[in-house]
Structure 1
Amino acid sequence: MMKLNHLNLTVTDVRAAKEFLEKYFGLTCGGVRGNSFAAMLDDDGFVLTLMKGAQVSYPQTFHIGFIQENEEKVNEINQRLKADGFEVEPPQRSHGWTFYVDAPGGFTVEVLC
């Protein structure tokens, strides 16, 4: 069996995207190269690399997802983002208890359980 071990995102602001992923989703930074690259690590060995691009144009439905253990955790992250000035709709029941947020750097994040 193969295991996906990394994904690269092109972002307009590596530092802002890095700080967002650290603050709200607990990723840790494994290394940076100036303002053009950061390697973000999760607790399961997955690596999300961030590379600076002049412009970012992902398809409308493109997103990365962070699954949470329960609805309360989804609600907590939603409220933290809202309190910090991010425009987020309240979570709703869809394919899970979920909401989306536009992350700094030009990509979308889904939070769900």
Structure 2
Amino acid sequence: MKLNHLNLTVTDVSAARGFLEKYFGLTCRASRGNGFAVLFDDDGFVFTLMKGNDVQYPKTFHIGFAQENKESVDQINQRLKEDGFDVKPPQQLHGYTFYVEAPGGFTVEVLSQ
């Protein structure tokens, strides 16, 4: 069985879409203004974003983007930092990892084993 898609409710679809495209290589194939967007990864996974006014995920909720190596994790961390995101340096925990608050109201983990 293969997971087919994930839908996130976000406060700003356009900002969340741009973030996911810029830092994680997702491609938007359809959108309706700031109300809805359909993004795909290189493996055909469908990631949809829907506009919501009061987005509140549980404190530990996050999505993750696995990277091939520590260098890729460091590069994404540095790009985010340079672009003004509040990110801490990666740490060796359950993998080499860091978290970032994404535009739209959700948390992203970037990690490698």
**What is the match of residue 99 of structure 1?**
98
State the shift of 1:33 in Å: 1.1
* Aligned structure 1 segments of 4 or more residues deviating by more than 4 angstroms: none
State the shift of 1:35 in Å: 1.1
Counting only pairs closer than 5 Å after superposition, residues 1-113 of structure 1 correspond to structure 2 as 2-113=1-112
Q: TM-score, normalised by structure 2?
A: 0.98
Q: Give the count of matched residue pairs.
A: 112
Matched AA of 2:103? P
Matched AA of 1:63? H
The SS at the match of 2:30 is strand
State the shift of 1:20 in Å: 0.2
State the shift of 1:87 in Å: 0.1
State the shift of 1:51 in Å: 0.1
Question: Where in structure 1 are there 5+ consecutive unaligned residues?
Answer: none
Q: RMSD value over aligned CA atoms?
A: 0.4
Matched AA of 1:74? V
Question: Where in structure 2 are there 5+ consecutive unaligned residues?
Answer: none
**CA distance, structure 2, for counterparts of residue 107 and residue 35 of structure 1:** 16
State the shift of 1:55 in Å: 1.1
